[in-house]
Structure 1
Amino acid sequence: MNRKLLALACLAALALSACNKPAEPAPAPADAPKAAEPAAPAPAEPAPAPAAEAAPAAFDAAAFAGTFSGTLPCADCSGIDTKLELKADGSYGLDESYQGKKDGTFKGDGTWTAEENGKRVRLDPNSKSDDDRLFEIVSKDEIRQLDQEGKAIDSQLNYSLKRAAAAH
């Protein structure tokens, strides 16, 4: 039974290949003796793709590292002064000061990773009681806080942190 199926499959493949005859004869294998026909000109090399169509370069997390700061919205205060230092080694430090709150200063640290080929940053805090935080990479100089699901926060309030000028 298996031989009949194999023979039938071979016949079907042969029949299908006969329907798709190539316009030119197939080239002889490299180890076959060459006929006395003139050699066909080599096909032209395809032109390189324009730069706009080239695959995007991989995100360089070490080059993106830096300090971002700004004032994020606060539900029960006038704002949260935020300073986020993304370090080239993949760690981060976070300082938050809740404006007008006594004992409203918090520090955090952990690791950060770029996701979606550099479209998003995930902060993974060392304190496992804290949730991960997500930021959209708007540009090399701006990140914007996202909600817990990684979606933009639907608000007119400013959730952006801007890159701080490098200290000289």
Structure 2
Amino acid sequence: MIAPARPLPGFSAHPEALADLLTVPGQVRTLALSYLDRLVKAEVRGPLLEEQGERDLRGARKIYLDDAMAYRLVYTERRAPHNPRHLLGIHLVAVGERRGVAVYETAARRLRQAAVQETGRGMPARFQAALASSARPSPAQAAATTSTATPAVALSPAARQR
């Protein structure tokens, strides 16, 4: 019996990173698209970036896009929580010139914005979404429910409004 093939990792991008691709020279854009294809197929992997002064790029990786190493592609990898060796996807953060560390400044700002959005309400957005769609009551709902009148199924706020 042949084992089922693993699906290819996904691709996502910061909206402004897609605009970055339009601002770089055509030959650099072609190389960036080729590298993105190879990254998704797990054929290449760039070196890890670190915290650089006020620029926190921990967890991000870079790819050199041209022979002069003047342009960089900065991305992050999404890994399966149960198996970190399994690549779920590539997230493009920034594409641009290395001169004056511009691409790294841009990438650090975008990563910071994403972190603030994800933890804006005290817990990561993916956990908030899971709680909202869960049939189990949230801690606030459980506290509001009296112990003698516990419903068989607790509905999410959206379901109760219908």
Give me the TM-score of the superposition, normalised by structure 1. 0.26
Greater relative contact order (CA < 8 Å, ≥ 6 in sequence)? 2
Higher helix proportion (structure 1 or 2): 2
Higher strand proportion (structure 1 or 2): 1
Larger radius of gyration: 1
